[in-house]
Amino acid sequence: MSHKPLRLFLKTFLVLIPIIYCSTSHSQTLRVGTTLWPGYEPFYLAKEIKAYKSDIRMITYPSTSEVLRAFKSRTLEAAALTLDEVLFLVESNIPIEIILICDISEGADVIMGRPELKNMQGLIGASIAVESTAVGAYTLSRALELHNIGIDQISLVNVEHSDHKNTYKQGVTDAVVTYEPVRTQLLSEGAIELFNSKEIPGEIVDVLVVHKSTLDTHQTELYDIVEGWFTALNYLNDQPAISYKFIASRMKLSIEGAKESYFGLTLPSLSKNKEFLSGSSALLKQTLKNLNKHMIHSKLINSDRASKTVFNPSFLP
């Protein structure tokens, strides 16, 4: 009995294995991680209104630290993060590219405190909850710098974002470095706003980052998610009642509270995105350089990583 047909089958099978594997890896779901934050909600709104044509899975994590861990372990192909958090990734030598500017915080990142603290000077000698691996660390260091308070004059407690509200309610700390929707929730608990990102305009910028390898494996999905983002922004503008009702249900806020959470945010248009991301003089590059300089000075990172950060506008519609 001849073994030629068997050998021919095996040869064909071995040739097809990489093709099958390749096609599977290229067609797998695009997994995108975010925290619960109004600036990221258009991603979820796009899913709700069926703006995505391909398989995009949005995953909400309890804290930015968890998003960073998932992205580093490649459980995620993409993540929505602030620029300072991007610098943490770049320092870890993870090849990434920024493909979209989601929002610019102009008051939504805050330090909330007990009423008796009165103002930033009241933080001297106080205990402050902050998520040390996320944007809170940058917000706090800039707030202290602007108000001439030394880091040794406060007591820091590392608390992930999902526990910020309970930390305040249980009296564990005197203040919390946080953001929406926790800001609105703490206001209802009697907390006062001691500092917000209006004092550092243009410094806290949220972006969509992807692993460099994802540019090849999920190219279609990346075009799709960026286009879906702008479709959702238009829908938010054209159908505010439906949009805010959906966002409010996700953020566990009233519809009015959901609307108000956007008062401290700018969601850049497509033309602004192109302006921020394109060319050698991209506006975002200067912002990143300033961030990098401050983070080195504050010992949040160890070296200059701004020049290693890649801006990629090619997925913009």
pLDDT of residue 280: 62
pLDDT of residue 133: 63
**Continuous segment of H or E residues that includes residue 205:** strand 205-211
Confidence bin at 22 (pLDDT 50/70/90): very low
Report the DSSP pairing between strands 96-105 and 265-266: antiparallel
Architecture of the domain delimited by 29-104+204-315? 3-Layer(aba) Sandwich (3.40)
For residue 307, what is the DSSP state?
G
Please name the residue that has the structure tokens 């710098």.
145
Domain boundaries, the chain: 29-104+204-315, 109-199
Task: Please state, in angstroms and rounded to a whole number, the distance separating the CA atoms of residues 107 and 263.
Answer: 8
- State whether the Cα torsion 29-35-36-39 is positive or negative: negative
Share of the chain above pLDDT 90, in %: 60
pLDDT of residue 211: 96
| Phi then psi dihedrals of residue 131, to 5 deg | -85, 105
178: how many CB neighbours lie within 10 A of its CB?
28
Same fold, 29-104+204-315 and 109-199: yes
Give tens-digit pLDDT for 147-193: 999 999 999 998 887 789 889 988 899 999 998 888 988 998 999 99
The DSSP-derived string for 9-62 is HHHHHHHHHHHHHHHHHHHS-EEEEE-S-GGGHHHHHHHHTT---S-EEEEE-S
pLDDT of residue 26: 44
pLDDT of residue 282: 65
| Phi then psi dihedrals of residue 284, to 5 deg | -70, -25
pLDDT of residue 301: 79
Give tens-digit pLDDT for 97-138: 999 999 999 888 999 999 999 999 999 999 999 987 668 888
Number of residues assigned to the chain: 317
Angle at 167 between CA 198 and CA 33, to 5 degrees: 65
- Amino acid making up residue 291: L
Confidence bin at 2 (pLDDT 50/70/90): very low
Options 3.40.50.720, 3.30.428.10, 3.40.1280.10, 3.40.190.10; CATH for 109-199 is 3.40.190.10
For residue 84, what is the DSSP state?
H
Task: Please state, in angstroms and rounded to a whole number, the distance separating the CA atoms of residues 311 and 195.
Answer: 30
Q: For residue 308, which of 105, 117, 101, 94 has the smallest C-alpha distance?
A: 94
Task: Please state, in angstroms and rounded to a whole number, the distance separating the CA atoms of residues 3 and 11.
Answer: 12
